[in-house]
Structure 1
Amino acid sequence: MLAVYADHFDATDPLAGLATGERPDPVEREGWTTVTVRATSLNHHDLWSLRGVGLRAEQLPMILGTDAAGVTDDGREVVLHGVIGADGHGVGPDETRTLLSEKYPGTFAERVSVPTHNLVDKPAALSFEEAACLPTAWLTAYRMLFRSAELTPGQSVLVQGAGGGLATAAIALGAAAGLEVIVTSRSETKRSAALALGASHALEPGARVPHRVDAVLETVGAATWSHSVRSVRPGGIIAVAGATSGDPSPAELTRIFFNEITVRGTTMGTRDELVSLLAFLVQADVRPTIDGTFPIGQAQDAFARLASGAQVGKIVLV
């Protein structure tokens, strides 16, 4: 089958290790189901994998990808929950939690196998391309907003960064849920796009927010951490799901304890939360923003777009 995989690692030029070619079909195993992939989407996790983060050289070649929507052999249209080992289904209770493409082959292939419990029915209202955007970035944004930050209608949230898949998801979900969403971005184009998605304010990085917010969604790290700590109200929450610019130094601990700020880490979400997210999107008539769609044979171009940081929304492979 045709697949996109990590051939070798390169910390400075991750795309150098990206390859597209024939790989073996998935191995059948008890409690797992093989899905014919109709669409899949890129995440920064894939770039980190090409740098050698979370993978060992002896695991290569490794098919990349954590997100997918497709069809089972009996015709069921499904969305894949990409976390393996979180609940023991298909792997046993003692297996450490991983994402697809970390231990088991990922979704950038014509076919992928996952524990049968990881399959969720795709709503008819969502296209395969839209559904493929959801299991990582959108699910993480959903969990950050409504589980980690515990936000409710009428409250306010600051989203650091406005263009990526998680940020656009947080803006659209937050606006649909009745939140006041404030975003930051260096790009005027991305700030305008954020306002079009429902953000109330779009600011340059580090700019003073109109008022201290109830929560901050933080995925940038060092470049925005100080601004996040200063922008959240006393007793507020900072939900952290990444640090693309590195770990912050200093950590602003004095301000955190003095203002009783809660910092919560978030990784992906549960299968049940994915089911809830799908229902939310259908009920609220919200759809993912897709920056571009590429055939699997043009994966190099899709990855180059992701690496450039110019995208607004998700990048999809079909």
Structure 2
Amino acid sequence: MSTDPLLRIRDLRVSYPAAGGAGGAGGMAEVVHGVDLDLASGERVALVGESGSGKSVTARAVLRLDPDARLSGGIELEGVDLLGLPQRRMREIRGGRVGLVFQDPLASLNPVMTIGRQVMQPLVIRGVSRRVARRRAIELLERLGVRDAEHRVDDYPHQFSGGMRQRVVIAIAVIAEPALLIADEPTTALDVRVQARVLELLHELAAERGMSILLITHDLGIVAGFAERAVVMRHGRAVETGTVDQIYNAPRHDYTRALLAAVPRIGGDVTRPLAVIGAAGNAPEEEES
């Protein structure tokens, strides 16, 4: 049995065309700087950090979703070098071996296509008959808590609530039984009760299918209840990596400690200002040694 990780990222660097530069020269601006990350089969890992820390850019680089991005380093999935694959092979991996859940389900769904057609699509484009794909879509939606799924597959996204739309997006991402699910802020804009149910569903699906999950979030509360390991990112760098217990109980980097200090706590002193994460001081920019 192989002990190699399902996903291996080494010295990943991501650059985008700069809007300008010295003297208007333009050029490339690097936004992710040498990130390393391993994800084992069946493991749940969280990429954590503030908005703009580079966590979503890192995740999108795995699937090469940004045509303007210049990628260097190494990204291997099941031993296959993704950076060296032609676009045709990458299209097979997207939605096949790797599923993706975006943070805004309404923007992720096609408003003029029925829910059923969108959930079925990953199977149909892989040669599964429409009859079988529809049956599997209905079964999966029922599994995810969509009531009367047999009839609701013919509804449109605007006829679903935010929580139900997120269930539909999850169904699209996992119906082809990917080895890896990338969940980019999957509970944003959902109320606490719906957040908990969505995370519970992801946990159950991962356990049932042996699926790995890379969770992108800024919410350390979510990390504590969902992930096994966490990678803390700041300014495009991974500043700390460890198990969830290590990150919460013995953080090694000042930035990680600052993130934890900024989390509101039940029973805490409501008159005390929350910690502020500045550009320096309590959250220095240098990487851990």
- Check whether TM > 0.5: no
Whichever structure has more helix as a proportion of its residues is 2
